[in-house]
Amino acid sequence: MYEAKSKEIVLRRVREALAKSAPFLPPTPDFTSPLHPVVPVEDMSIVFAQNFIRNSGQFVYCENQEDFFDQLYIYKKEQNLQHLYVWERNLQNALAHAGIEFSDNEETFVKDAEASLTTCESLITRTGSILVSSANAGGRRLSIYPSTHMVVAQASQLVPDIKDALQRIRNKYKDNNFPSMVSMVSGPSRTADIEKTLVMGAHGPKALVLFLIDDLPN
């Protein structure tokens, strides 16, 4: 008698549950969609500059290569940079043609290097970071040893996110040796390990300066 009554109660509860409307189920998430909003190509330079400056970088927009030479000359004079080191042959030729003094003497590098100028692999819009590698003649030392690291890049090197920058470098070196070092630089060197006080330039450059040449079609 007890079992029959219990069974009746269970069946009644099942009928009552079925009579109610089904609970709302959220749609299945699309795991293939991008995590961050897509930035239009025409806005990437603006978003990159905002994020780069937020990372304490110094951003200099250049309308063309001639403007870059002018801006570099002004910055070098304002900061009183006497020893600018450049090891990439294409940059050396361009600066020599523009009449901008530089040094490529490795023997005096450790003693005199206060600033360096290098190129880069790409510019990552979402993080405002510069992707550098050991593949160019600047190697590793020019991006970490001098107090001021200057980078010249083209707007066509802007990519939306980190994965796009890594894919670009894979495509570039697929037929050659992949760089032994690939590094994402987000602003000048900093640390807060000592008494939780932020110190700039503790493990590398105190200043990171980007000269962005606009080479995109109007």
List, for residues 176-196, the tens digit of each pLDDT value: 778 888 888 988 765 555 555
DSSP per residue, 65-113: HHHHHHHHHHHHHHTT---EE---HHHHHHHHHHT---B--GGGHHHH-
Residue 164's pLDDT band (boundaries 50, 70, 90)?
very high
Length of the chain: 218
119 or 11, higher pLDDT: 119
Residue 37, pLDDT score? 66
Give pTM, 2 decimals: 0.77
- Over residues 48-68, the mean pLDDT reads 93
Token pair listed for 78: 């304002």
- CA-CA distance, 4 to 10, in Å (whole number)? 10
* Residue 187, number of CB atoms within 10 A of its CB: 20
Domain edges within the chain: 41-189+200-213
Name the residue among 127, 146, 126, 155 with its Cα closest to residue 214: 155
**Which residues make beta-bridge pairs with 203?**
none
Give the ranges where the chain is alpha helix by DSSP (H): 2-19, 44-54, 65-78, 89-98, 109-112, 141-144, 162-172
pLDDT digits (tens, 9 = 90+) for 30-50: 667 666 666 666 688 999 999
| pLDDT tens per residue, range 9-27 | 777 777 777 676 666 667 7
Cα distance between residue 157 and residue 150, in whole Å? 16
| CATH number of the structural domain 41-189+200-213 | 3.40.50.10420
Query: In this model, does residue 201 exceed pLDDT 50?
Result: no
CA distance 157 to 37: 20
**Looking at the predicted structure, is the pLDDT value of residue 216 above 90?**
no
According to DSSP, residue 204 is labeled S
54-to-48, 128, 188 alpha-carbon distances in Å:
10, 8, 11
Residue 202 has pLDDT above 60, yes or no: no
User: Rounded to 10 degrees, what is the CA torsion of 48, 49, 50, 56?
Assistant: 110
What mean pLDDT comes out for the span 123-127?
Answer: 94
